Amino acid sequence: MKKEIKNVPAQIFEPIKNYLDQECQVIVAFSGGIDSSVLLDLTLKMIPLRNLLVIHVNHGLSAKSIEWEKHSKQICEAFGVKFIAEKVNVSGHGKGLEAAARSARYKVFEKHLVKDGVLLQGHHFDDQVETVLYRLLRGSGSKGLTGIPKLRKLAHGMLFRPLLGMKKIDIQNYAEANSLKWVEDDSNQSSDFDRNYIRNSVLPVITKRWPDYHSRFDTLIRNSRANKQLSMAVFKQDLKFLDQKEERGGYSILLKSFAEMDKSRQKNFLLYWADSNGMQSPGHKVIGEAINSLAALSEETGPIVSFRDSQYRRYRDRLFLLDTTFFSDLETLKSQTILWNGESRLDLDPVSHLNFEKSLGFGVRYPKGIPVIIKFRQGGERSHPQERSHSNTLKKCLQEFGLEPWWRDYVPLIYYGSELVAVADLWIQKDWQADADQDGLNISWISNIR
């Protein structure tokens, strides 16, 4: 057996050998179970200890969680590996316990992963089969059937799964041949979780009927990935056609052009649009709802279609994709009054900031010594834009200037003392435009999304 496994470390780390030649950080996600124990043992044969960090995430979901953490720490101390254990609070409210635990884990990993670092996880091919079956039974399309990626970007670094080509039996053989010690998670035997049910009840039946199911699933995954590449190529072509623009809080495309596309291409576009901009892709139900309710051209605005941390909204001639993780603090911002202290950049919220540039003859007239204050709409304000013949309610002016409805309560209003002099970079108030010989302030309201 030892002769058979002699070259395993070099083989499984081949896809990232260029990373490993460098002095890059390598993190091993270590639960203490058999899979991550094999992963750690193989990693120690390839990675210098000075580059290695082992992270154990304690979810607190089992009575044995403290025991597992202690075991993991002892293993790492024996090898002399730097070890970090973090306890997380997991709440399944809204998205299920498994998804919540996964989200909590990744937040820990991303916190410790440095630029160009590599996170290693111990998923193997049987995990791949479980994932494909799980997605299939949930109604996933060809994109979902591509399975778990072996290598992908994560935060500022990379996520790599070296064991993904190995079967569970290979993992067990390696662990026994190398006399490894590991813990058993008793929750794996509970079929209350969908994946456990597939592992414990479905795969044994499949194995009995189709002993070569690994090769069949490998073919399915390869074909699905080929289909995904084709779908991605179509998406990229449509992205150029639809004129994507970066917006405050997200992105937008031409609504008319989108509405004229074949429905299958609309679905394909929405399947990849969020993912291409760092958000989670919606399921087919949400995609269908977005197409049916937002692609119509009959009204200026439409309903909101939400999915996890993203929103699809329509305004005038564009369809918007908004990242709602940036909007969480806006309500508290609305009640604030902010004093400008002369800085060139003033952060307002996670979504946007103001840039101030002193000038001569441009922007808002700037009488020195008057406090510059930023406020937000409370209701009832009036405004008189420089180029307009009369004043109107601020609400009406924002509509006329085409500011999206979801921003109208949060647009920064620039005051000199108690007098409104500008509304963000949308307009300057009448009589406050700087003349050629007057000091001025150029003010820009800029999105933080990049």
Where is the domain boundary, 309, 326, 343? 326
Number of domains in the chain: 3
Domain co-membership, 102 together with 151: yes
Burial of 306 (0-12, 13-18, 19+ CB in 10 A): middle
* Average pLDDT for the chain: 89
pTM to 2 decimal places:
0.74
Across residues 215-220, what is the average pLDDT? Answer: 92
Domain co-membership, 288 together with 395: no
Domain co-membership, 363 together with 305: no
Q: Assess whether pLDDT exceeds 60 at residue 386.
A: yes
**Cα-based torsion angle of the residue sequence 173, 176, 177, 180 in order, rounded to the nearest 10 degrees:** 130
Across residues 276-281, what is the average pLDDT? Answer: 87
Domain co-membership, 288 together with 152: no
Domain extent for 382: 330-447
CATH assignment at residue 299: 3.30.465.60
Where is the domain boundary, 326, 350, 366? 326
Domain co-membership, 57 together with 72: yes
User: Does residue 227 sit within a domain?
Assistant: no
Model confidence at 422, pLDDT cuts 50, 70, 90, reads: very high
Q: Assess whether pLDDT exceeds 80 at residue 338.
A: yes
What pLDDT score does 137 carry? 87
Across residues 65-92, what is the average pLDDT? Answer: 92
Across residues 250-268, what is the average pLDDT? Answer: 94
Domain co-membership, 190 together with 301: no
What pLDDT score does 90 carry? 81
Model confidence at 136, pLDDT cuts 50, 70, 90, reads: confident
Q: What is the pLDDT of residues 165-195, one digit of tens each?
A: 999 999 999 999 999 999 988 777 767 778 8
Q: Assess whether pLDDT exceeds 50 at residue 4.
A: no
Across residues 343-363, what is the average pLDDT? Answer: 91
User: Does residue 66 sit within a domain?
Assistant: yes
Domain co-membership, 374 together with 441: yes
Do the Cβ atoms of 47 and 1 come closer than 8 Å? no
What pLDDT score does 324 carry? 84
Domain co-membership, 176 together with 52: yes
Domain co-membership, 105 together with 74: yes
Considering the chain, what percentage of its residues have pLDDT values greater than 90?
A: 64
Domain co-membership, 261 together with 367: no
Domain co-membership, 135 together with 68: yes
Model confidence at 94, pLDDT cuts 50, 70, 90, reads: low
The β-bridge partners of 359 are 440
Across residues 239-254, what is the average pLDDT? Answer: 93
Domain co-membership, 188 together with 55: yes
What pLDDT score does 2 carry? 42
